[in-house]
Chain A
Amino acid sequence: MKLFADLYRRLDETTRTNRKIAAMVAYFRTAPPEDAIWAVRFLTGRRPRRGVATRQLMTWAAEQAAVPNWLFEASYEVVGDLAETIALLLPPPVRQSRRALHNWVEADLLPLKDMAPEERREVVLRAWTEMDTGQRFVWNKLLTGGFRVGVSQRLVVRALAAVSGVEANVIAHRLMGEWAPTAATYGRLLSSDTEDADISRPYPFYLAYPLEAPMAELGDRGQWQAEWKWDGIRGQIIKRGGQVFIWSRGEELVSHKYPEVRQAAAQLPDGTVLDGEILPWRAGGPLPFGELQRRIGRKSVGKKLLAEVPVIFLAYDLLEWDATDQRQRPLSERRGRLEQIVAGLGDSRLRISPTAAAPSWQALAELRRSARSRGVEGFMLKRLDGAYQVGRRRGGWWKWKIDPLTVDAVLLYAQRGHGRRAGLFTDYTFAVRDGEKLVPFAKAYSGLTDAEIREVDRFIQRNTIDRFGPVRSVRPELVFEIGFDSIRPSTRHKSGVAVRFPRILRWRRDKRPRDADTRETLAALMSATGRMAATFPQ
C-alpha cells in the first residue's frame, strides 16, 4: 500500500507529464505483478464500488479524531473532499503496516460490502490505525468509490509500454474490455507475444476534438466525409466465435440492454467489429436522448419499454473484417465495405450513418442549419484517406457542432464545488423570469474563468439570503448567458423544461435581473427547435 500511495502522491504533486510517466515507470518496475495489476486498474479509472456508506465513514472518523460532528462537517465544507477530510483529521497511526496493495484490496476492500456492520467498522478502523495520511487518503478514495488521479489512460499506457517494450497501441487494446485483476493478466498485458485470445475484447475508440479552424483550412471538401453527429451512446459491436458483444464507450458490456441490436448483429459474419451509435429511434428519426436514458438505467428491459423506446445501431465504421484489423486502411475503403455489409444484412435495426452530399463547405454550412430540426448535434468531419486512430486525436476527425441555444438567466442558488474548486461556490442554479417570480431551470458548473469564480464566490458569501443544508439562496442580482444544446418539455422540472448540456457562456455584467429572459423565451425556443418536443407524446 505504501508503494502505491507514494505513486499517487508523486502523480498528484506534479503537473509535468514526464514526471508522471517517470513515477509510473518506477512503480511498475518495483511493484509485484499482483499489485501492479490493481494499480493499472485504478489508474485507468476502473474504480471499485463504494463498500461503506459515507455517513458511516464520517461518524467513525469523527469519533477517532475526537472531533464533534459539526466540526467535522465544517472541515469537510472547507476541504471539499470526504476522503481527504478524514485523512487530515485522524490521529497519527499507531503502527505502519507492510501489507501489499492486492492484499488490502482483496482481503479488506472488496469483501467490505458483504460484511456485517460490526466487522466492517473494525476493518476500516484497523486500516486507519496502520496507515499514514497519504495512505489513508488513497485508501479512503478507494473506500468511497471516488478514486481518481491526474493521469490519462494514454499516459498509463505509455508507462507500461516503456516498462515492457511492447508497442503502446497493443497495450491500449489489451486494456480494453473486461479482465481479471490477477498477476497472470499483468503478465499477458506486458507480454511480447501478440496472440490475442479474448474474443470479447473491443478496440479503443477514436474520438474527435471540436473543429478549431475555419473550414477552408481543412482543404478540399472532396477529401472529407461529412456525417451527422448523433446524440446517443457511442458503441462497438463485436461478432466473434458465434457470439455478439456490445460495448459502450465507457467500456461497459451492454449487450443485454439492447436485445434488438444484439439480434440484428447476430447475423453478421464472425470476425466483424463495427463502431457506431446506439440511438432511440422511431418513424425514421431519433427520439430525444432523455428517452434513451430510460433504457440506460435498466438492468433488464421489459416489453413495454422496448415498445416505447426502440433502439437501433447506426454504424459509423468498420474496425475488423474477416477477423482482420481494418483500422490502418483508409476510411474510404472501410466505408465502402461497411456499406456492403449493412446493405447485405437488410435489417432496419442496424443501419448505416448517412453521409451529407453537400458538395462544398458552404453548402455543408447551409445544411447544418437544419441540424436541430433533424434531432442531431451537427456534423462529424472525417478524412477519407485517414486511419482509425486510438483515443482523442486532432487532424483526422473533427466534430462540428451547432451553436448552442442561449438565454440570459439570473443566479439563484449556489453550492460549494469539489476537487480543484473545493471550498469555493462554483455550482450554480439559474432562473428565468415568470411574471414577478424567478423560476429555476438549469444548473451549470463550467464556463467561468478562475478569477470570475472567485468574484462570484465573494458575491455569494456577502449576499446569502438563506441556507438549505449545503445550498445557499442568494440575492438575485447577477445575470449570466447560459448555453445549452437542446430543450424539451419535462414534468420533472419546476420550470416545465429540461435542457441538455447547460453551461455558462459569459457573465452579463451589463444586465440586471429585469433584463433576464422569461419563461416565454424558453417556450419559444422549444417550439422553434423541437421537432421531437412537438411530436413526442408526454
Chain B
Amino acid sequence: MLDSGLQITPKGLYCPEGDFYIDPVQPVPRAVITHAHADHARPGSRDYLCAMPGRDLLQARLGAAARIESMAYGDRRQIGGVTLSLHPAGHILGSAQIRIERGGRVSVVSGDYKTDPDPTCTPLTPLTCHHFISESTFGLPIFKWPAYETVMAEINAWWAANRDEGLTSVLFVYALGKAQRVLAGLDPAIGPILTHGAVEKVTATYRNVGVALPATRHVDAPDTASDRTGALVLAPPSAHHPAWMRRFRKRATAFASGWMRIRGHRRRRAVDRGFVISDHSDWEGLVATVTRSGADWIGLTHGYAAEMARWLQDQGHTAEVIDLSDRPAPDRGDRLE
C-alpha cells in the first residue's frame, strides 16, 4: 500500500488526498462506486459517484433519494490532490475500474472485472499503473471458462430438450448482470422467456439504457400461465424454494455460475444442470490483466487472494493480500458473483 495514495480503513478503501472512499462498507461523505452489486454499493453515504452507464442501476439499488453523480468512461476529474477517472471493467453494465493519478504515480482499483466478452456491457480496458488492486474471486488455475458462445449453445440445447419433454426450464442466475448476459445469448425461437420480478426490474433498466435484449415477460403477468410449459424462466437463486417453484408443475432446473466449474458445487446446488458462466475473470484472465498492468505493487482482494498473491510473488512480483471485506474470513463458495 506504501505510496499508493490509498489506505485501508474500517469503512473501506480510502483516498485521503481526494477525501473519498471506494465501495465503502459503512456510510461516508463521498463514495466512488465500482458497480451496483449489493456487496459493493451500500446505502447511507452522502454523495455517490459512478460510471455513467451504471447510474440508473445504482439509483435502483440505493433508492430514489440517493445523490448520485456520474462520469463518462475515460473522463478525468480533479478531486482534491488527485485526478480521478473511471474505465470499463467488463463485469456488468456500468462497472468501472477506478484510476487515481497523483504526481505522476497511478493507482488502479479494479473492482470486479472480466476479460471474456459480454454483449451487455463495455469490454474491460486494460490499464497500466504503478499500484494495482485486483479482485481474485476465481484466483486458482482450476478456474478456466469455456467460450460464451459454447455455454449459450449448451443452455439453448438444454432448454429445447426440456421443451420437447413438456417441461419448464428454470435457470437460476444473479438478477443483476448475469441474467442479462445470459438473456442476450438465448434463442427466442425456442420458446417464451419469462422472468422473476427481480430479474424483470433490472432488465427493464438495461433496456432503458439502450442494451438490446430479447423480449421477456414477468412470470406472473396475465396470460403467461399457458406459456409456462416449454418456457425458459430466469430467476435469482433465492427463488429456489417450494413456495415460488410451485408455479411450474413439471420443470427442469439449472444454475449458471463460475462455481459450476467444480463438480462438488454443481451437485450441492441440487439442480439438474450447472452451466459454467461467470462475470469474473478466470485464472488466465486475472493473470493477464495483472501482468499487463505493469504494476510494481499488486494488492489482491476477495476469493483466493492468498493463493494468487503467493503465485505472483513466485513470479517475481510484489504482491500482497488486501482484506477489504467487512467479514473476518472469506466466505468461499457462496460469494455473490
Contacts and interface: CB of A to CB of B under 8 A. Distances in A.
A80 B268 contact: no
A423 B263 contact: no
Contacts of B261: 88
Interface stretch (B91-99, B110-118, B285-293, B329-337): B329-337
B66 to A, nearest CB: 31
A420 B264 contact: yes
Contacts of B328: 462
Interface stretch (B4-12, B79-87, B137-145): B137-145
A198 interface: no
Contact of B263 (A12, A14, A67): A12
A417 B130 CA distance: 41
B268 A421 contact: yes
B85 to A, nearest CB: 35
B102 interface: no
Nearest to B259: A423
Contacts of B252: 16
A78 B263 CA distance: 11
Interface in A414-473: 418-424, 450, 454, 458, 461-462
Contacts of B273: 13-14
Interface stretch (B194-202, B213-221, B231-239, B307-315): B307-315
A79 interface: yes
Contacts of A461: 329-330
Nearest to A418: B264
B46 interface: no
Q: Chain A CB within 10 Å — which of B270, B329, B334 has the most?
A: B329
B334 A454 contact: yes
A201 B273 CA distance: 39
Interface in B260-318: 261-265, 267-268, 270-274, 304, 307, 310-311, 314
Nearest to A85: B142
B262 A71 contact: no
A458 B329 contact: yes
Contact of B272 (A16, A81, A88): A16
A74 B261 CA distance: 16
B264 A74 contact: no
A54 interface: no
Contacts of A65: 141
Contacts of A79: 142, 262-264
A89 interface: yes
Nearest to A72: B141
Given A65-B141, A71-B311, A89-B141, A80 B272 contact: no
A74 B329 contact: no
Contacts of B140: 71, 74-75, 78
B68 to A, nearest CB: 33
Interface in A36-93: 65, 67-68, 70-71, 74-75, 78-81, 84-85, 88-89
Contacts of B265: 422-423
Given A16-B252, A16-B272, A458-B331, A423 B141 contact: no
Contacts of B267: 419-420
B262 A84 contact: yes
A360 interface: no
Q: Chain B CB within 10 Å — which of A81, A84, A88, A450 has the most?
A: A88
A15 interface: yes
A28 B153 CA distance: 26
Contacts of A67: 141
A80 B331 CA distance: 17
Secondary structure class of chain A's binding surface, majority of residues: helix
A379 to B, nearest CB: 34
Contacts of B329: 458, 461-462
A65 B270 CA distance: 31
Nearest to B306: A74
A480 to B, nearest CB: 21
A85 B314 CA distance: 21
Contacts of B307: 71, 74
Given A68-B314, A419-B267, A450-B268, A89 B333 contact: no
B272 A15 contact: yes
B263 A422 contact: yes
A421 B268 CA distance: 7
B272 to A, nearest CB: 5
B241 to A, nearest CB: 12
Given A71-B311, A421-B268, A462-B328, A78 B262 contact: yes
A448 to B, nearest CB: 13
Interface string A282-294: 0000000000000
Nearest to A464: B329
Interface string B244-270: 000000001000000001111101101
Given A68-B314, A74-B307, A419-B267, A88 B144 contact: yes
B270 to A, nearest CB: 8
Contacts of B271: 15
Interface string B141-179: 110100000000000000000000000000000000000
Contacts of A418: 264
A431 B111 CA distance: 44
A423 B262 contact: yes
Contact of A14 (B142, B270, B272, B331): B272
A450 B252 CA distance: 21
Nearest to B329: A461
A462 B331 CA distance: 10
A422 B142 contact: no
Contacts of B274: 13
A513 B245 CA distance: 40
Contact of A422 (B141, B264, B270): B264
Q: Chain A CB within 10 Å — which of B142, B270, B311 has the most?
A: B142
Contact of A75 (B141, B270, B314, B331): B141
A70 B310 CA distance: 10
B141 A421 contact: no
A84 B144 CA distance: 13
Nearest to A460: B329
A423 B331 contact: no
Nearest to B271: A15
Contact of B264 (A70, A71, A81, A89): A81
B142 A80 contact: no
Contacts of B268: 420-422, 424, 450
B99 to A, nearest CB: 30
A367 B334 CA distance: 50
Contacts of A80: 262, 264
Q: Chain A CB within 10 Å — which of B141, B264, B307, B310 has the most?
A: B264
Given A13-B274, A71-B311, A74-B307, 13 more contacts: A13-B273, A65-B141, A71-B141, A78-B140, A78-B142, A78-B304, A79-B142, A89-B142, A419-B267, A420-B267, A422-B264, A423-B265, A461-B330
Nearest 3 A-B pairs (CB), nearest first? A422-B264, A420-B267, A88-B142
9 contacts: A15-B271, A78-B140, A80-B262, A81-B264, A422-B262, A423-B262, A423-B265, A450-B268, A462-B329
Interface of B: 140-142, 144, 252, 261-265, 267-268, 270-274, 304, 307, 310-311, 314, 328-334
